[in-house]
Amino acid sequence: MPISELLLAEFDAEMKKTRTTLERVPVDKKDFAPHVKSMPFGKLATHVAELAGFGLSVLTTPELDFSKSSYKPMPFESTTQLLQAFDEGAAKARAALQSTPDEAWTQNWKLSFQDKPIFDGSRFLAYRQMFLNHLVHHRAQLGVYLRLNEKPVPATYGPSADDTMGF
């Protein structure tokens, strides 16, 4: 069985959980931050929404230097906008995942800023650490932000105190 096929079920499950979390982000709390060093809710939500598409870069390019890209963070305007960006990025990343041949997983992938390395390792580790684990980490942060704002936290790896119907 190809490696990509093994990873698709996990990808689909994580994208579904992430989408459910993004659906619950309140537009009126976009400036909320639990600490001065924390990202505001709106910035964190757009980061999570856009991370879905970051997987595409990991799967289809040999490297990414943030200082050489034209990327501009998306402003938080609405839940619909978050979901659209997320859905588009996830669909592209899923298609790339499906077509990634086994030999590509061992190829080197680099992430840097101004040629200073942030990550340098196999595409498989980049996919897991820089993309998927990164997405899950920030999704968990969104869960904390939801809780602190009295919004229901979705179930992820088991029922939440708010959402037991997912299991």
Mean of the per-residue pLDDT values for the chain? 95
Partner residues linked to 119 by β-bridges: 111
The mean pLDDT value for 8-31 works out to: 97
- 59 located within any domain: yes
- 155 located within any domain: no
Q: How far is CA 38 from CA 28, 44, 131, 151, in A?
A: 18, 9, 20, 19
Q: How far is CA 163 from CA 10, 26, 71, 79, 143, in A?
A: 21, 17, 35, 20, 12
How far apart are alpha carbons 25 and 77 in whole angstroms? 11
- 158 located within any domain: no
How far apart are alpha carbons 136 and 18 in whole angstroms? 8
Task: Specify the pLDDT at position 52.
Answer: 87
Domain count, the chain: 1
If one compares 69 and 10, the residue with the highest pLDDT of the two is 10
- At 50-96, the pLDDT tens digits run 998 899 999 999 999 998 888 888 999 999 999 999 999 999 999 99
Task: Specify the pLDDT at position 163.
Answer: 78
Task: Specify the pLDDT at position 166.
Answer: 54
Task: Specify the pLDDT at position 100.
Answer: 98
Evaluate if residue 165 carries a pLDDT over 70. no
Task: Specify the pLDDT at position 72.
Answer: 86
Task: Specify the pLDDT at position 73.
Answer: 86
Helix pair 3-23, 134-148: axis angle to 10 deg: 20
Q: What percent of the chain has a predicted confidence (pLDDT) above 90?
A: 88
- 167 located within any domain: no
Q: What is the CATH number of the domain that holds 55?
A: 1.20.120.450
- At 93-127, the pLDDT tens digits run 999 999 999 999 999 999 999 989 999 999 999 99
The mean pLDDT value for 6-15 works out to: 98
What residue numbers bound the domain in which 127 lies?
3-70+77-99+108-148
Among candidates 99, 87, 85, 86, which has minimal Cα distance to 8? 99
Among candidates 21, 62, 17, which has minimal Cα distance to 44? 21
- 125 located within any domain: yes
- 156 located within any domain: no
How far apart are alpha carbons 14 and 114 in whole angstroms? 31
Task: Specify the pLDDT at position 137.
Answer: 98
- 157 located within any domain: no
How far apart are alpha carbons 73 and 47 in whole angstroms? 8
- CB–CB of 112/118 below 8 Å? yes
- 39 located within any domain: yes
